[in-house]
Amino acid sequence: MAAVDGGEVDHLAGERATAHFDVDAMKVAWAGSRHAVEVNDRMARLVASDPVFRKDTRTMLSRKELFKDTLKKAAHAWKRIVELRLTEEEANLLRLYVDQPGYVDLHWGMFVPAIKGQGTEEQQKKWVPMAYKFQIIGCYAQTELGHGSNVQGLETTATFDPNTDEFVVHSPTLTSSKWWPGGLGKASTHAVVYARLITQGKDYGIHGFIVQLRSLDDHSPLPGITLGDIGGKFGSGAYNSMDNGVLRFDHVRIPRDQMLMRLSQVTREGKYVHSDVPKQLLYGTMVYVRQTIVADASKALSRAVCIAVRYSAIRKQFGSQAGGPETQVLNYKTQQSRLFPLLASAYAYRFVGEWLKWLYTDVMQKLEAKDYSTLPEAHACTAGLKSVTTSATADAIEECRKLCGGHGYLNSSGLPELFAVYVPACTYEGDNVVLLLQVARFLMKTVSQLASGKQPVGTTAYMGNIQYLMQCKSAVNTAGDWLNPAAIKEVFEARALRMAVNCAQNISKAPSQEEGFSELSPDLLESAVAHVQLIIVTKFFEKLQQDIIGHGVKEQLQNLCNIYALFLLHKHLGDFLSTGCITPKQGALANEQLGRLYAQVRPNAVALVDAFDYTDHYLSSVLGRYDGDVYPALYAEAWKDPLNETVIPDGYQEHLRPLLKQQLKFSRL
């Protein structure tokens, strides 16, 4: 302890020695089980030890080279999966640790789930085995040039022709071109295409269809199909490994049985039949993927935090007054107050992601039993958590870059690429603002039902306590009182409910519900965020109620949970004050307590990021190396840049030498 406080520990071994908890047990708490630790570790090492999966020069590749490298890695990964007879769990992890966005993400992540979720049993029997063996490669073609968020506004048509028992898929306008689907540009042979179903002269809205795009013999586009890549994207390397594509149909015919018919069918005669299920199940694949994106947020955030914490323990700036050793930047209170809430958020997102996976599985089981009652909540939770966790994670990765100073801006820090790959998560699978407005709509509905005496359930159950929560005053008197979970939960519940009720009251004053919703939408966003943050805080507390084993593990998690909650309270102090949930004095006490908690995390910080159990290969950061040997690695990495292949740069003879040797002088000189 003294060594840390005194700034004498200057290597990570010393940092690890100061930890007050069992890191191996924390690995289990983080991964979910001992089995999960073992399989994660095995797959991460398998990838790290295979030269084909190297990624240290990835940011120096041209787009074409990068794409080819992605194809190579995907094919090699598949070869290893088959050779080693990996289970589905192992295969998913192997792909995760390969860590290069590519067509396989959409094939496994959306194409297969769309067929499983929206295809009949017969359709699944036909298509899923082909997809599982990679005899076909699929993508998810929903978004168009003119519409992404507004799914009902899509323009592609699928018109039934009873004469031939086929659908005719067509892109009637430029804006109806499919635009963005990952894997579409160059790799996919098939797509699940979302189009307006027209039969017997009537438009029945958006439905899914399986459409073959490319020949299975030579990969050329099939007749009537125009497709390609939509062009380079944000950042060097990064998401440019993905072939996001454009696709147009010119009266392309597909058999009737390639309409995904689990939810609704078109008969041989062309009659439209809708099953007895909510239409929203059409959006089921998006709900599934949003749930996986929350788990991905904790992965991305923990990676960035791991790099920033380890480097902050190595990096030293400024000395003592007496000219003693310089201070580890991790010892600066400002560094701690910026970094430790992000560390706490990584754990918070991990646990809420775990819970969301459970919720999703539970909802799916209920749907199988034709119980659709929990669907709105599943939609609100996945949409809200996707939105809040991805926005915060994108911001946090950028903050970690700044926390690493100048070196954080180098590609070799791993942070620029991580940011560029991660930031579109705020947009794809539903723009974060659009999704939060869905949560707000759900909240307004719940509030309006309170008057009729309907008891809210699940994550809105707290709203049933409206009499108390609308008028309660926090009893916090000392900084230490903020360590009481009940005190924290109460103010988060009161804030969320009061914000929702304020919005509902203001909407009711508008000429119409629609106008009120539109006018109040900035407030509704904040109300939705407050509700989602309450969910995350609550799920962290619930995690602490579980059986957590290992010396000191629970205590560390308690600290992190309190930091997460009190950091949010501090950041959104305006909400808590304006709704009268706390007084300014109580806000100041929360901040005081936060400072104390940071001091408790400090000696454990490196061990807390070690518990993520990331290999150096997965982190791909010279700053985040496990051994902390940062400077030689930074120095060596610089020499790998293609610019350093020659001492004299290309272009010297044409452009530099003539300039330096020029005889012409400015006349005024």
Ligand X SMILES: Cc1cc2nc3c(=O)[nH]c(=O)nc-3n(C[C@H](O)[C@H](O)[C@H](O)COP(=O)(O)OP(=O)(O)OC[C@H]3O[C@@H](n4cnc5c(N)ncnc54)[C@H](O)[C@@H]3O)c2cc1C
Ligand Y SMILES: CCCCCCCCCC/C=C\CCCC(=O)SCCNC(=O)CCNC(=O)[C@H](O)C(C)(C)COP(=O)(O)OP(=O)(O)OC[C@H]1O[C@@H](n2cnc3c(N)ncnc32)[C@H](O)[C@@H]1OP(=O)(O)O
**Which residue number is nearest to ligand X in terms of Cβ?**
148
∠ Cα 285 527 579 (to 5°): 160
CA trace torsion 390, 394, 400, 402 (10° rounding): -160
Applying CB under 6 A, which of residues 27, 61, 100, 109 lies at the interface with ligand Y? Answer: 109
Least distance to ligand Y, CB of residue 512, Å: 16
Least distance to ligand Y, CB of residue 84, Å: 17
Could you give the angle at which helices 333-368 and 553-571 cross, rounded to 10 degrees? 100
Applying CB under 6 A, which of residues 50, 52, 108, 128 lies at the interface with ligand Y? Answer: 108
Query: Could you say which of ligand X, ligand Y, none residue 621 binds, taking C-beta under 5 to 8 angstroms by partner kind?
Result: none
Q: How far apart are CA 605 and CA 556, in angstroms?
A: 10
The partner residues of 265 in beta bridges, in order of sequence, read 273
**Which residue number is nearest to ligand Y in terms of Cβ?**
109
Q: Is residue 379 close enough to count as binding ligand Y by CB under 6 A?
A: yes
Applying CB under 6 A, which of residues 43, 66, 287, 301 lies at the interface with ligand Y? Answer: 287
Element housing 278 (H / E):
none
The partner residues of 246 in beta bridges, in order of sequence, read 179, 228
Q: Please name the residues in contact with 514: beta carbons below 8 A apart, sequence gap of 6 or more.
A: none
Applying CB under 6 A, which of residues 433, 466, 472, 633 lies at the interface with ligand X? Answer: 433
Applying CB under 6 A, which of residues 427, 502, 583, 600 lies at the interface with ligand X? Answer: 427
Site for ligand Y in 321-350 (CB under 6 A): none
Q: Is residue 277 close enough to count as binding ligand Y by CB under 6 A?
A: no
Applying CB under 6 A, which of residues 424, 456, 587, 624 lies at the interface with ligand X? Answer: 424
Three-state secondary structure call for residue 73: helix
Q: Is residue 239 close enough to count as binding ligand X by CB under 6 A?
A: yes
Q: How far apart are CA 613 and CA 306, in angstroms?
A: 10
Judge whether 592 counts as a catalytic residue. Answer: no
Q: Is residue 430 close enough to count as binding ligand Y by CB under 6 A?
A: yes
Tokens for 537, please give them: 């805080």
Q: Is residue 430 close enough to count as binding ligand X by CB under 6 A?
A: yes
Specify the residue, 283 or 360, whose C-beta has the smaller distance to ligand Y. 283
Applying CB under 6 A, which of residues 4, 145, 289, 537 lies at the interface with ligand Y? Answer: 289
Contact 134, 103 (CB under 8 A): no
Q: Is residue 181 close enough to count as binding ligand X by CB under 6 A?
A: yes
Q: Is residue 142 close enough to count as binding ligand X by CB under 6 A?
A: yes
Q: How far apart are CA 496 and CA 576, in angstroms?
A: 9
Q: How far apart are CA 29 and CA 37, in angstroms?
A: 9
Specify the residue, 428 or 541, whose C-beta has the smaller distance to ligand Y. 428
Query: How many residues are present in the chain?
Result: 669
Three-state secondary structure call for residue 255: strand
Least distance to ligand X, CB of residue 277, Å: 23
Q: For the chain, what is the radius of gyration of the CA atoms?
A: 27
Q: How far apart are CA 41 and CA 28, in angstroms?
A: 12
Contact 155, 164 (CB under 8 A): no
CB atoms within 10 A of CB 327: 17
Show the site string, 231-270: x = touches ligand Y by CB under 6 A, - = not: ----------------------------------------
Q: How far apart are CA 240 and CA 421, in angstroms?
A: 9
Mode of pairing for the β-strands spanning 190-199 and 252-255: unpaired
Q: How far apart are CA 68 and CA 240, in angstroms?
A: 11
Query: Could you say which of ligand Y, ligand X, none residue 372 binds, taking C-beta under 5 to 8 angstroms by partner kind?
Result: none
Three-state secondary structure call for residue 369: coil
Query: How many residues at the interface with ligand Y, by CB under 6 A?
Result: 29
Site for ligand Y in 164-183 (CB under 6 A): 182
- What single-letter DSSP state applies at residue 507? H
Applying CB under 6 A, which of residues 4, 114, 225, 286 lies at the interface with ligand Y? Answer: 286
Q: How far apart are CA 212 and CA 54, in angstroms?
A: 33
Q: Which amino acid is at 338?
A: R
Q: Please name the residues in contact with 609: beta carbons below 8 A apart, sequence gap of 6 or more.
A: 302, 305, 306, 309, 310, 343
Least distance to ligand X, CB of residue 439, Å: 13
Q: What are phi and psi of 666, to 5 degrees?
A: -60, 135
Q: Is residue 291 close enough to count as binding ligand Y by CB under 6 A?
A: no
Q: Is residue 143 close enough to count as binding ligand Y by CB under 6 A?
A: yes
Applying CB under 6 A, which of residues 149, 164, 320, 653 lies at the interface with ligand X? Answer: 149
Least distance to ligand X, CB of residue 184, Å: 7
Query: Could you say which of ligand X, ligand Y, none residue 54 binds, taking C-beta under 5 to 8 angstroms by partner kind?
Result: none
Specify the residue, 62 or 513, whose C-beta has the smaller distance to ligand Y. 513
Which candidate, 623, 244, 568, places its Cα nearest to that of 418? 623
- Stretch of 145-153, 253-261, 362-370, 594-602 contacting ligand Y, by CB under 6 A: 145-153
∠ Cα 490 491 493 (to 5°): 65
The tokens 């799914």 sit on which residue? 151
Show the site string, 68-107: x = touches ligand Y by CB under 6 A, - = not: ------------------------x--x---------x--
Q: How far apart are CA 541 and CA 376, in angstroms?
A: 24
The catalytically annotated residue of 377, 429, 490, 493 is 429
Applying CB under 6 A, which of residues 100, 156, 291, 438 lies at the interface with ligand Y? Answer: 438
- Stretch of 401-409, 422-430, 544-552, 598-606 contacting ligand X, by CB under 6 A: 422-430
Query: Could you say which of ligand X, ligand Y, none residue 105 binds, taking C-beta under 5 to 8 angstroms by partner kind?
Result: ligand Y
Site for ligand X in 200-229 (CB under 6 A): none
Mode of pairing for the β-strands spanning 245-249 and 252-255: unpaired
Specify the residue, 171 or 291, whose C-beta has the smaller distance to ligand Y. 291
Show the site string, 71-110: x = touches ligand X by CB under 6 A, - = not: -----------------------------------x----
Least distance to ligand X, CB of residue 8, Å: 46
Specify the residue, 192 or 601, whose C-beta has the smaller distance to ligand X. 192
Q: Please name the residues in contact with 162: beta carbons below 8 A apart, sequence gap of 6 or more.
A: 268, 269, 270
∠ Cα 364 367 368 (to 5°): 90
Contact 208, 222 (CB under 8 A): no
Query: Could you say which of ligand X, ligand Y, none residue 244 binds, taking C-beta under 5 to 8 angstroms by partner kind?
Result: ligand X
Query: CA dist 331 to 211, 397, 465, Å?
Result: 58, 20, 43
Q: Is residue 142 close enough to count as binding ligand Y by CB under 6 A?
A: yes
Applying CB under 6 A, which of residues 45, 253, 441, 570 lies at the interface with ligand Y? Answer: 441
Specify the residue, 152 or 667, whose C-beta has the smaller distance to ligand Y. 152
Residue numbers annotated as active site: 429
Interface with ligand X by CB under 6 A: which residues? 106, 140-143, 147-149, 180-182, 239, 244, 424, 427-431, 433-434, 437
Interface with ligand Y by CB under 6 A: which residues? 92, 95, 105, 108-109, 140, 142-143, 148-152, 182, 280, 283, 286-287, 289, 292, 375-376, 379, 428-430, 434, 438, 441
